[in-house]
Each structure stands twice: as C-alpha cells, then as structure tokens.
Structure 1
Amino acid sequence: WDDEEGNLLIGTVGNDRATTALVWGENILTCYTEQSIRERFSEYQVAGQRAGDDVDHGEATLTALRARARDSQITRYRPQHIQQSGNATGASCRARSQFEAQQRAARTDETTYTVQGWRQGDGSLWKPNQRV
C-alpha cells in the first residue's frame, strides 16, 4: 500500500489501532467480503536441496529435503508442490510449508470497507493496515 505522501510501504499485519470504530449504519457506506478457497490446498509439500561439504554429504542430507504441512479444513486431497529456493535445510522446508498453509488460510476471507470521509472521529487520517 502507499502512505499519505505516495511512498510505497511493504509490511506485515498492522499494529496501529484506529481511534474510531466501524459501525454499520453510521460511518460504513459499503462492505464487500470475498471468500474463496481457490488458493488453498489440503497439503503443502516443500522439497529442496543444498550443496554438500566434506563432512555433510550424501543423498539423504542434500537431495531428499522434504517437509509437509496440512490444512485440515480442505478435506479433498489437493496437494501443492513447492520447490524451496536457495540452499535448503529441513528446517527451512518445514517453515515454508507451515507459512504457505497459514498464509493461504488467512487470505480465505478478505473484507473491504468503504467509510464516509478520509478522516477518523479525532481528525486523523484512516490508514491502510490499521486494526479496528
């Protein structure tokens, strides 16, 4: 998203809290919710490989790095295969599979509100990524 000066911002879930509550019939003009599971899968299988050295070598440690995470809400078998980038480890493959499952589940429900005006009740601007 961008800030009030037009600068591109890249961030995580916001920590800033809005000072004004969103109340249907008062300051909410429209509300749009999209629910979709098209990007969700029953299982996220991540595979990777890494370069070996004099101590750590062999097929089991270099080419057979795999991890999986399951999404229990998707009951039909629908796997997603992901190739881990870079020098993979078992831990990085596990973290990636868990991240994909959690991130895609979180994106299932997206809600957009259109409010009256640019400012909150205290005069401050509404900002993207604020918690309400």
Structure 2
Amino acid sequence: MPQIAEVTLAYKSTVPVETLPKITSPDEAAAYLRSIWDDDHLELKEEFVVVILDNMKHVLGWSLISSGGSTATIVDTAAIFQVALLGKANSIILAHNHPSGNRKASTADVQLTKRAVEAGKLLGIPVEDHIILYRSGFTSLRNEALM
C-alpha cells in the first residue's frame, strides 16, 4: 500500500494582537482599505480584496482575490473562503473598487455579497460588510441594507 501524506496546518503570528488595526465600523473599514489599496489602481481597474478579522475585529490580514478590467472583475466565492479559512478568520470584510466612481452597488455586487453571506453562514465565518471604494468616498452594502 502506498504511503499517503499527512496534511497539517500551522498558524503563527509574529505581531502582538493588541497592536493590530481594529475595524468596528464602515468608516474604519474604508480607512483601512485605503491604507492598503494601490492608489494608482483605484480609477484604473477593478480589484477585489478580502480582509480577515479575529473575534475582537482585529485585522489578521488581507488578500487580493481578483484583479480585472475597468468595469468588472471575476470573483470566486471559494477563493474568498479559502483565504478566510487558512487565515484563521472569525469574520471577513469584502471590498472592491469602482474605477468609474459609481457609488451604487451593481446587481452583480449584491448577488456576490449574498452568496458570500450564505457561504459564510455555512462555515461559521460571517461577512461583516462589503465596501465599495471610489475616489471621492465609499459605499457600505451593510449600511445600504443590501446584505
């Protein structure tokens, strides 16, 4: 019989948790996202990011999930939760930009958010918000009651 490899996982943080940024509101989420976003891409191409949070809403990390063209990007829900699971997330924040400056969530934005919320419920990883960034501000899908 062939030898089968054992799969193991490890998580080691080198930063004290109390020094990590904390996100408890859409304003804080948008400010954090602006601090990590490539400003040169904000009006150039649509990008999608997931931010992973611990149980106290400290930011454990973030990952660029997708980068597309000037009007859209393809987002795989499984990729969102792969990052969340491997990053030891207790909850997540979704974010993407609208290069056009459009403040409104598209039908596709709302559908993706609802799929992610349902997947998060199954995995026990709530989606806290979905933030849309644009040059002059941001939109919170939670505040707009679109989740």
Q: TM-score, normalised by structure 1?
A: 0.26
* Higher Cα radius of gyration: 1
More helix by percentage: 2
Higher relative contact order (CA 8 A, sep 6+): 1
